[in-house]
Structure 1
């Protein structure tokens, strides 16, 4: 494992970590760096969880621009090539230069299983750690993550992991998901699905054709050549509405899985309440206010959790204030026990 210096821990773009010892004396940053380098005690992984539409990908990028990290996709539909709108893949611009693994690389007709994911994710993890980076696993397919962590005894003996859960109440999320499907339609989702439609193909149980937003349009495309414009519009509305319903059902299923992992499997999962972010967006208060809530309620707490998980200390991370400040600490560096992860 390569040594990771304190400078790699500081959130970007404004490194503002200052620490005050329990005795009240100030310990400046350079003195801390000169005194010791902080080294993770074992090979560690961060997992970002949440229902569809809650902002998992956004948080993973925020973390990867604050820590030296690379991202492993665990969404079972986003692993396939194609249907970027339907599967809601993160765009190149949104990635902000952060390397992504298992994203849009599998043949769309292949049957990619949990075992396939475990094998390829394990290779990606080793490669990322070998470069001195932090693997961040993110995606809505909790069954893939559970298989990786629960079904491979070597995983638990080698890695320590920290789970972050971006949570939004289902009624609030359903409204957002409905709006998101409308935006996907505006971006060209219907044409994207039409390009892979095959009137001789009836199987939607394998590969990328299982994606929500593909089988829902089958009836529309089959009937369209034989219908007038009014009937076509009705069938299109039915397909869009069914896509919304199935996406909302998926969100409920994903939420149930996270709760089961927490309450039944005993995973220590850090819940981050993003309700205010979505509420501000829904009330039309402006993107700036929503972004500020995201930083304060999701990114800030997540950064502190990951910092403690990696380096076993109580330093408070500050990255939104343009001027350095001193922050109190209960104890000097670094004596706190690592965050428990299951």
Structure 2
């Protein structure tokens, strides 16, 4: 019988001992990611205002627009672009940059937004992404692997109950009409224009088509009727848009909820004047500031237990959206 040498059975020492491995471990860790804040919400819920409030709270910060209509030049009233005064000196990117007749796609947005965010971070500033086009945000964060490797995002969702939001959107249309929306769209009107591409897709443009086509020849009664019908359609379309946006936000929230926080701003929209301002400061802005501060400084969990997140249940709102959409 052949005798196997015991040396063959001896354990081969590791190439790197345990202490050396521990010392080398940091070299195998991924570098920390840069951070970005993303503000979600249906049309009219105050996303732009919150973005600017946070940008002035955490200077230096800059805002990247993710609204697919505000990215086009022109129709500032119709697309509800922030004014220079409302910007309060905060630099905005991707606002009014695209040709109004072009088709600025989610791929285009991802390319331009990534470039803008990279530029903001290189200058040691905080990027805040805000806008109502959730397909743009999803394309940037879910479809762009390079972006995910570089950035960690935290999501703030500004939510308002549908009945209250519907009332606000109706009043907002009235304010836009008073501010000169009809004249703005009239100057942009093209009888041969295509309402399926570019800025002409924006709510508040195609609804005026029949009125603008006939106003030169129609009597006053007919013009009044067509104008009122156009305004009513704009209001209905804004409410329908809000429902579609909320449905998509619920889906995205479920994907990103470990790094997301829902802010219930309903009570703010039921008040006016100083009362509304005070509620915005305490119910929306102050909470957002605390959460973003923790996110930026890794100071404990950003998202509190679900029971502390909001006095308004999350999933009944989703059911409310589905029912309202079905009946709309």
Shorter-normalised TM range: 0.7 to 0.9
Work out the CA distance in 2 between the residues paired with 1:204 and 1:337.
Answer: 46
Unpaired segments ≥5 residues, structure 1: 1-39, 282-286, 314-335
Range with bigger deviation, 255-264 or 231-240: 255-264
Is this contact kept in 2: 1:167–1:272, CA < 8 A? yes
More helix by share: 2
Work out the CA distance in 2 between the residues paired with 1:87 and 1:44.
Answer: 29
The corresponding residue for 1:52 is 43
The corresponding residue for 1:76 is 68
- Report the CA distance between 1:131 and its aligned residue: 0.5
- Report the CA distance between 1:289 and its aligned residue: 1.1
Deviation track 1:29-58 (CA, whole Å, cap 9, x = no partner) reads xxxxxxxxxxx9530000011001010000
Is this contact kept in 1: 2:291–2:302, CA < 8 A? no
Deviation >2 Å, runs of 4+: 263-269, 336-340
Query: Structure 2 residue aligned with 1:161, among 153, 166, 187?
Result: 153
Closer, same or farther in 2 for the Cα pair 1:265/1:274, shift >3 Å? closer
- Report the CA distance between 1:267 and its aligned residue: 6.0
Query: Structure 1 residue aligned with 2:259, among 268, 280, 283?
Result: 268
The corresponding residue for 1:220 is 211
TM-score, with length taken from structure 1: 0.77
The corresponding residue for 2:172 is 180
Root-mean-square deviation (CA), in Å?
1.6
Is this contact kept in 2: 1:177–1:244, CA < 8 A? yes
5 Å matches for 1:1-342?
41-67=32-58, 68-201=60-193, 203-263=194-254, 268-281=259-272, 287-313=273-299, 336=300
What is the count of residue pairs matched by the alignment? 273
Is this contact kept in 2: 1:45–1:160, CA < 8 A? yes
Work out the CA distance in 2 between the residues paired with 1:212 and 1:177.
Answer: 12
Work out the CA distance in 1 between the residues paired with 2:54 and 2:142.
Answer: 25
Is this contact kept in 1: 2:157–2:263, CA < 8 A? yes
The corresponding residue for 2:313 is none
Is this contact kept in 2: 1:311–1:338, CA < 8 A? no
- Report the CA distance between 1:191 and its aligned residue: 0.4
Query: Greater relative contact order (Cα 8 A, min sep 6): structure 1 or 2?
Result: 1
